[in-house]
């Protein structure tokens, strides 16, 4: 039986289906603005907490300044730097940069592969990257078998990495829910949601070995800003709303009404904040998976023959030269 070779996607087909015109400068400006916005929210909330501690005790206030600075560095600055240091795949292309994108993506795949191989050789007891697949990946890298590298990376991402990503998202969402349910402070809730979601993104980026594109990362950071502001609003508004509703029900037992309203409000805050954090994680994971598969498709698209193009240009050049000589001779 004859088997027909699967028709490759052309560059034009890829562009029509996956590429979109983007304003690179506007996206980079937006990234800076949203990163700064997260930093301002976290800084303001930590400052307000420190001021409250000062009201209670001066010495405790000075100690809280040192703690707040360390928290700001390790839970805001470090995650942002680590996320931005990772490179994204180039998947939004046109005829001018497609060949550069293919070479760049190949180099990034090799770098990710080398990192996985190095990680498995140095760290024991981790099941992120399948040992058998990583062993085969090491052989593929040593023989420069790019096709095998791509296939093995895909298998690694679809197996242990996917499971670990889901576990990371679940753990972060549960912790955010528990902490914000117990904090009873809108400042702490807003700061904690912002910082912990940044660390969730950082952990997923570290796991996959690359980050989402600037355009996708812009959407993620924007969501973090919104979630932090919502966490503040949910914390300050939910308690008041529930307290007013229950005060009429337990008019003769104000203490009981306060306890019940606090418990319900705390559970509601934790649930909402935990779900929002889970959504951030799922969105980040989807962007990473999508862009990995897009670069795989891009690597196999059918391009024009460069040798034929060069010959055509040489022919045009010769024709121009001959025509110029004829005019000069006349």
Percent of the chain with pLDDT over 90: 66
pLDDT at residue 248 greater than cutoff 60: no
CA atoms within 13 A on the CB side of 302: 7
Indicate the range of 63-67, 195-199, 255-259 predicted with least confidence: 255-259
Indicate the range of 113-117, 123-127, 159-163 predicted with least confidence: 123-127
Query: What's the maximum distance between 2 C-alpha atoms anywhere in the chain?
Result: 113
Provide the whole-model pTM.
0.85
Q: What is the mean pLDDT of residues 84-94?
A: 95
pLDDT at residue 302 greater than cutoff 60: yes
pLDDT score for 60: 94
**For the CA atoms of the chain, what is the radius of gyration?**
27
For residue 267, what pLDDT band results from cuts at 50, 70 and 90?
A: confident
| CA–CA separation, 265 and 240 (whole Å) | 9
Per-residue pLDDT of 21-74, as tens digits, reads 889 999 999 999 999 999 999 999 999 999 999 999 999 999 999 999 999 999
Give 124 or 220, the one with higher predicted confidence. Answer: 220
pLDDT score for 184: 77
Per-residue pLDDT of 168-185, as tens digits, reads 999 999 999 999 888 878
Helices (H) and strands (E) in the chain, counts: 12, 0
Q: What is the mean pLDDT of residues 256-263?
A: 49
Give 302 or 36, the one with higher predicted confidence. Answer: 36
The CB-based long-range contact list for 222-225 (8 Å cut-off, 24+ gap) reads 222/30, 222/34, 223/279, 223/280, 223/283, 224/34, 224/38, 224/193, 224/194, 224/197, 224/198, 224/280, 225/34, 225/37, 225/38, 225/41, 225/194
């Amino acid at each position: 039986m004859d088997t027909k070779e699967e028709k490759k996607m052309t560059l034009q087909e890829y562009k029509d289906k996956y590429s979109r015109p983007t304003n690179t400068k506007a996206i980079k400006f937006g990234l800076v603005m949203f990163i700064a916005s997260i930093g301002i929210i976290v800084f303001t909330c930590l400052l307000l907490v420190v001021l409250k501690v000062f009201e209670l005790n001066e010495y405790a206030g000075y100690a809280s300044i040192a703690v707040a600075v360390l928290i700001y560095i390790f839970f805001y600055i470090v995650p942002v730097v680590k996320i931005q240091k990772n490179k994204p795949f180039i998947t939004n292309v046109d005829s001018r940069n497609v060949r550069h994108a293919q070479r760049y993506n190949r180099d990034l795949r090799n770098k990710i592969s080398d990192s996985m191989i190095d990680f498995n050789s140095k760290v024991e007891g981790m099941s992120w990257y399948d040992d058998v697949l990583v062993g085969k990946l090491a052989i593929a890298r040593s023989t420069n078998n790019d096709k095998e590298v791509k296939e093995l990376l895909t298998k690694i991402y679809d197996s242990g990495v996917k499971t670990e990503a889901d576990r990371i998202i679940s753990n972060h969402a549960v912790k955010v829910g528990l902490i914000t349910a117990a904090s009873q402070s809108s400042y702490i809730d807003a700061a904690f949601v912002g910082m912990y979601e940044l660390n969730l993104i950082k952990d997923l980026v570290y796991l996959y070995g690359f980050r989402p594109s600037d355009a996708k990362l812009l959407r993620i950071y924007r969501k973090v800003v919104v979630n932090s502001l919502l966490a503040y609003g949910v914390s300050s508004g939910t308690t008041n709303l529930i307290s007013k509703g229950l005060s009429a029900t337990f008019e003769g037992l104000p203490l009981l009404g306060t306890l019940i309203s606090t418990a319900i409000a705390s559970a509601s805050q934790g649930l909402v904040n935990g779900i929002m954090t889970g959504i951030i994680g799922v969105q980040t994971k989807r962007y990473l998976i999508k862009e990995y598969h897009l670069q795989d498709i891009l690597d196999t698209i059918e391009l024009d023959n460069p040798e034929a193009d060069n010959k055509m240009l040489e022919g045009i050049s010769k024709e121009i030269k001959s025509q110029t000589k004829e005019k000069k001779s006349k």
